[in-house]
Chain A
């Protein structure tokens, strides 16, 4: 948990550069870098230009700046500013601003005289990829847009969906060295200001030298950072983020990250795919139930196998007994080893598949799944019953829409297996109790993580384990404690609907 005292913020503002007072002091340090350019232009060679070649858009500059300055006869920055067709140009002598802007793709223009004033011209080189399809949270139906690494594009994608002046963006900068831009996006009047304050306070209290991705922030500001469960939802779908904002949640957009964080969130939301809203409610509900069943199955099936085969032969029905015994007849290992070996194999395959390019990854999947699996059974190293169960469990764990949660689910079963080996079914129930307690103790922005299951809020069940039709989704979820509680005036819309009939 990162909740540092306010004094940290003040400490951070003290820059450790005491001897740099003017632009001229800054120059020697910057010139050590080979991509830092220093040109002198103008008819009287009185204009100095400084920039980082790697940060600016050369084409733009060559045409509109160098061409004009080549023979310019000016000796005043204000005149020059008016002469040049750049909108965001500014004149300053603040050394901190100059340093920062130079490093974010501005060009510094200065006259060779003793004036400390510097004209800063924007010429940022945009090297971001195009907006493309979501890859992790792919959906068959609905919009196919995903966030990219650029902060402004991402906020643009959200604003496109919520055309509202009340959509506020609060900008912060975090990271001692990386100085990463972070924006907190929320709808004023819907989102609870307390939540906004908590997030703002926690983010500004973050003290770390680098913030490379939103997941850094997620791990640092979540309520219990020791938990394997993600307590902030991360998504790459702009539609999901926009919908969360309208529900009164708060989004955290981090520059350089294609994943946007949503808070507060609950456990059940991690098992809801945004595609659920594109399907009719019966089908969506069925899918959600299947997903939750898959999670339970995925966590429990291998431990159950270990427990039953190691201790509880009593509960195996007569019809199944023959199948189980004959499949295990020639296996030299006890069930626990057998299960661990197979589980590790599956994890290896997944890890190898994830690290390799897509095409090779697929091949690895086929080789691993079919060749190794069959060979292991033929060689008498694993039983084919367990092979089926573990393959199903792995498959089931991939149905979780949020990848991060899927990882947690997959690793969760290992402690279960160990407890199952120790005390059989009782061991499994003990680990279930530990899990429930852990989930009960978790919070997301101080809101209970298990809501609406516990504390029981029947009204929030409308969009939890099942998704009810839009006509009953009249109120925003209680979990966000929104200022404006209702989406629509249900009484009015219902009256209207009645009239239509």
Chain B
């Protein structure tokens, strides 16, 4: 009897010490998007956190958002500072988007990124983007949208990653920040009247924004960067003064090293001709003509893009990493000094495989 009671007391004690802090889903402040800006005057980071507001049923209060902001010198401090403003416990485990203000992007984002990397609560499949202007103003604006702001940004970037811009999540960004012979790039968001859109792709040198490429160059960049599927390209045929659209484009990209100083980026693409009013493809000659014209145009644009990259000494196409896998005696130093002089030739092979449904 006595021993049983002893055991009971022991087990009770252990049970009491066994409790851990609960994070009940509806009693926490779920931060889903973080925006960071650099405050040059105070030399601190300014963080803006957005958490969704759900009504009694999801349809009732659509797209409600709470915003909190705070300034501090490190990532963790910003979270703690935000806690002073939020009624519930602040949790960052469901973070799905990180935005950087333009100024911060130009200064360098690695401090924040490393801070985020150290928190085991945070996932790796989250979207990172740069904001034209300040992240805070973009996040604090009220929009009229169906989704909450965080989910809107997530869906916006995810869907565009399929068609317009290459995919770049936090892991990919880390990969390019740490790796040799590569530089990261991030989509740039712009605040329009009452919505948000993707304005450009920001090319970075290490962790600093150095260059932006506009929408017109998205396709060429993606073509040279990776395999793509289901793209659309609007082609201005200057010689014949016509504009045609090529849709359902599939491409495969490969890098061929001629020598240590000469490389060809080969892209084999095939697509369907649409919007070809007054320009049907009737015979082989016409088909070859248009194929060659498109290839030539894309190659020209590609060369322009690559030249620019070499000029800025950035390598978003990961040519250096490819060279590392190709040549045994590859070293970072040698590569970095050589990179601007290497001859990089984009070679595009376009194949028109289907015509339109309308003759």
Q: Which of B18, B54, B91 has the most CB of A within 10 A?
A: B54
Using an 8 Å CB-CB cutoff, how does the interface string of A312-356 with B read, 1 for contact, 0 for none?
A: 011010100111111111110011000000000000000000000
Q: Would B25 and A325 count as touching, CB distance under 8 A?
A: yes
Chain B contacts with A in 23-81, Cβ cutoff 8 A? 23-26, 28, 30, 32, 52, 54-58, 60
Q: Tell me the bound Cα distance from A318 to B26 in angstroms.
A: 14
Which of A313, A327, A331 is close to B28, meaning CB atoms less than 8 Å apart? Answer: A313
Q: Tell me the bound Cα distance from A323 to B148 in angstroms.
A: 13
Which of A309, A323, A334 is close to B58, meaning CB atoms less than 8 Å apart? Answer: A323
Q: Tell me the bound Cα distance from A49 to B151 in angstroms.
A: 94
Count of interface residues, chain B, beta-carbon cutoff 8 Å: 27
Q: Would B54 and A326 count as touching, CB distance under 8 A?
A: yes
Q: Would B58 and A314 count as touching, CB distance under 8 A?
A: no
A316 and B58 contact, Cβ closer than 8 Å, known pairs A321-B30, A321-B94:
no
Residues of A within 8 A of B214 (CB): none
A310 and B22 contact, Cβ closer than 8 Å, known pairs A326-B55, A326-B58:
yes
Q: Would B58 and A329 count as touching, CB distance under 8 A?
A: no
Residues of B within 8 A of A323 (CB): 58
A169: interface (CB < 8 Å): no
Q: Would A313 and B91 count as touching, CB distance under 8 A?
A: yes
Residues of B within 8 A of A326 (CB): 54-58, 60
Q: Tell me the bound Cα distance from A308 to B26 in angstroms.
A: 12
Count of interface residues, chain A, beta-carbon cutoff 8 Å: 23
Q: Would B25 and A309 count as touching, CB distance under 8 A?
A: yes
Q: Tell me the bound Cα distance from A422 to B19 in angstroms.
A: 6
A423: interface (CB < 8 Å): yes
Q: Which of A309, A326, A334 has the most CB of B within 10 A?
A: A326
B149: interface (CB < 8 Å): no
**Distance of A397 from chain B, by nearest CB (Å):** 26
Q: Tell me the bound Cα distance from A143 to B26 in angstroms.
A: 53
B93: interface (CB < 8 Å): yes
A423 and B20 contact, Cβ closer than 8 Å, known pairs A323-B58, A326-B57:
yes
Residues of B within 8 A of A322 (CB): 52, 54, 58, 148
B356: interface (CB < 8 Å): no
Residues of B within 8 A of A318 (CB): 32, 94, 96, 151, 154
A314 and B151 contact, Cβ closer than 8 Å, known pairs A326-B56, A328-B26, A423-B20:
no
Q: Would B91 and A329 count as touching, CB distance under 8 A?
A: no
Q: Tell me the bound Cα distance from A400 to B79 in angstroms.
A: 50
A325 and B22 contact, Cβ closer than 8 Å, known pairs A313-B91, A313-B94, A318-B96:
no
A325 and B154 contact, Cβ closer than 8 Å, known pairs A313-B93, A423-B20:
no
A311: interface (CB < 8 Å): yes
A310 and B24 contact, Cβ closer than 8 Å, known pairs A318-B151, A321-B94:
yes
Q: Closest residue of chain B to A317, judged by CB?
A: B94
Residues of A within 8 A of B93 (CB): 313-314
Q: Tell me the bound Cα distance from A208 to B148 in angstroms.
A: 69
Residues of A within 8 A of B96 (CB): 318
Using an 8 Å CB-CB cutoff, how does the interface string of B87-116 with A read, 1 for contact, 0 for none?
A: 000010110100000000000000000000
Using an 8 Å CB-CB cutoff, how does the interface string of B1-33 with A read, 1 for contact, 0 for none?
A: 000000000000000001110111110101010
B133: interface (CB < 8 Å): no
Chain B contacts with A in 135-155, Cβ cutoff 8 A? 148, 151, 154
A324 and B22 contact, Cβ closer than 8 Å, known pairs A313-B91, A318-B96, A329-B56:
no
Residues of A within 8 A of B254 (CB): none
B123: interface (CB < 8 Å): yes
Q: Closest residue of chain A to B120, judged by CB?
A: A314
Q: Tell me the bound Cα distance from A309 to B52 in angstroms.
A: 17
Chain B contacts with A in 224-262, Cβ cutoff 8 A? none
B121: interface (CB < 8 Å): yes
11 residue pairs A–B, Cβ–Cβ below 8 Å: A313-B30, A314-B93, A314-B121, A318-B94, A318-B96, A318-B151, A321-B94, A326-B54, A335-B25, A422-B19, A422-B20
For the complex of A and B, the 4 pairs showing the least CB-CB separation, nearest first, are A314-B93, A322-B58, A326-B54, A328-B26
Given contacts A321-B94, A422-B18, 5 further A-B contacts (CB under 8 A): A309-B25, A313-B94, A321-B30, A321-B54, A423-B20
